[in-house]
Amino acid sequence: MVDVNAAPPIAAPRRIALLSLHTSPLAALGGRETGGMNVYVREVAARLAALGIPVDVFTRRSSTTEQEVRPISPAEDGAPGARLVQVTAGPKARIEKEEMLPFAEAFADGVEAFRAREGVTYDVIYSHYWLAAVAGAMLAERWGVPHAAMFHTLAEVKLRARASESEPRERIEAERQLVGGLDRIIAATEHERRLLTQIYRVPADRVAVVPLGVDLDQFRPRSQAEARAALGIDPAEQMVLAVGRIEPLKGFDILIRAIAQLSDRRRVVLWIIGGDERADREIAALRAVAAEVGVGDAVRFLGPRPHEALPAYYSAAAVVAVPSFYESFGLVAVEAMASGVPVVASRVGGLASTVADGRTGYLIPWRCPEPFAEKIELLLRNPELRRALGQAATERMRFYSWVEVARAVSGVLGALIAEHAAEYGAVRAVAGGGRLPA
């Protein structure tokens, strides 16, 4: 496991090409393709730039009005800044991610065209999600540089987590092939590392563990009364909050049924943040569940919210619930805990690593309403317990700073570059090629 407290290596990357083909890190959160990965890409790129490492983040252009190059973080105080580059690959319109694989090669061509036009070189590629990794593999071969990737979710793991899930065969096959060819995989938790070694047979020494982070300046304890006043929420309301993409894997139907099972539902309201127009069918299904169990008037769908607006909602909540069938890390839980709010979450994936059961919230081993209802009701009835767990949660999250995450990523990529150079030098020496070019 990578030590996130270690100082960055002397041989840090000189310039990084960070690929996020299917979604922009600057997109509004809560849509079908926007979530924790978008936050990760944006924050890590900005923090790497602050460490003095230029980062270009490449994403597919999805509209005719977007600028080709936009700043993610400005260049200031001698830092190079990070920038977002929109690459034309396929139609300049939003398309489903399931339709993007045929455009991976065009995306790689667009990245190379930008690199050549700018006259820059990248000494490492860091891809996010399998679609970007497909394009990254093409570029790594063209450029002769090492390739690292973070998958965020894996198709076979999702299928095992929820039998009713479906994933394109192209994705399953591509991920199986990619894990064997990547120079390094970065996982968010030891649990994910074990899955990669057990299911995909990836050698453990090719997987580095670096947790996701949280902006501790933005997500911190605030006055609940002030947050509720700003959002127009009744001070007496018992607010349960859920945040995430509106899809079956998130388990929001379980949460709605749990609210219906509370012995005292007076003043209890479930707020759900997330979803876009493509989530209309799932939202309709969830509204039907709420009506069926008699809590239709106690469930509110707010749609997507900008990331910078979330601290107020976390602070206004009494409890944050994360009933997912699978989470590779669980960024919502981390942000809630950093805000001093206890979490009731499924004991799955990364949530089992980030939520300390009984100390910062509760982990539920069964994806059914009754245990969620029990723990939510316990917290709603005990403000002192909420306060104690919230304080412990804030303290625990001090170790999840994005600055330290960026340092750890820099260390992983720097070591990978050094390994690659040494291997290339050995091959050249055996072949009689002499010294490496400067």
Residue 78 has pLDDT above 80, yes or no: no
pLDDT digits (tens, 9 = 90+) for 122-179: 999 999 999 999 999 999 999 999 999 999 989 898 888 775 667 889 999 999 999 9
| pTM, rounded to two decimals | 0.82
- Would you say residue 168 lies in a domain? yes
Which residue reads 């979530």 in tokens?
35
Polymer length in residues for the chain: 438
The confidence band for 262, taking pLDDT boundaries of 50, 70 and 90, is very high
150/276 same-domain check: no
Integer CA distances (angstroms), 358 to 257, 345, 349, 362, in order: 23, 12, 18, 5
33/159 same-domain check: yes
Give 367 or 29, the one with higher predicted confidence.
367
- Would you say residue 435 lies in a domain? no
Give 95 or 137, the one with higher predicted confidence.
137
Written as six digits, the tokens of 194 are: 């074990």
Residue 73, domain CATH: 3.40.50.2000
371/383 same-domain check: yes
418/344 same-domain check: no
Handedness of CA 379, 384, 387, 389 (dihedral sign): negative
CA-nearest of 330, 318, 279 to 301 is 279
- Would you say residue 306 lies in a domain? yes
pLDDT of residue 425: 61
pLDDT of residue 349: 84
245/389 same-domain check: yes
Around Cβ 10, how many Cβ atoms within 10 Å? 7
278/255 same-domain check: yes
101/229 same-domain check: no
Our count of domains for the chain comes to: 2
CA-nearest of 174, 168, 19 to 96 is 168
Residue 429 has pLDDT above 60, yes or no: no
313/375 same-domain check: yes
Integer CA distances (angstroms), 291 to 253, 255, 278, 400, in order: 12, 14, 22, 39
292/200 same-domain check: no
CA-nearest of 236, 211, 204 to 318 is 236
- Would you say residue 338 lies in a domain? yes
pLDDT of residue 387: 97
260/241 same-domain check: yes
By residue range, what is the domain housing residue 120?
Answer: 16-213+402-430
Residue 259 has pLDDT above 90, yes or no: yes
- Would you say residue 243 lies in a domain? yes
228/361 same-domain check: yes
- Would you say residue 255 lies in a domain? yes
368/305 same-domain check: yes
CA-nearest of 408, 30, 378, 362 to 213 is 408
Written as six digits, the tokens of 85 are: 């580059």
pLDDT of residue 375: 98
Integer CA distances (angstroms), 338 to 168, 279, 351, 353, 396, in order: 36, 28, 14, 15, 8
- Strands, E, within 325-414: which ranges? 343-346, 361-364
- Would you say residue 253 lies in a domain? yes
